[in-house]
Amino acid sequence: LAIDILHSHSEVITLNPLVIDHKPIQAPRDAASDEYYSTWYEITERMQW
């Protein structure tokens, strides 16, 4: 069960109480070759000043 949760990126991201929204995005063109084919996310967080 724990390994399944760690592999579920969406579940792990939403565990953070500051995360309002997240969505998968394409890798930046200038991403390193070893990171280019990873899963990239855009994450919106709640911030207080």
Q: Give domain limits for the chain.
A: 2-45
Residues 6+ apart with CB under 8 A from 13: 19, 22, 41, 43
Fill in the DSSP letter of residue 16. Answer: S
Q: Which tokens sit at 32?
A: 């390193």
pLDDT at 3: 78
1-49: pLDDT as tens digits: 677 777 788 988 999 999 999 999 999 999 999 999 999 999 999 998 8
Tokens for 29, please give them.
């063109």
Rg (Cα) of the chain, in Å, rounded?
13
**Confidence (pLDDT) at 48:** 87
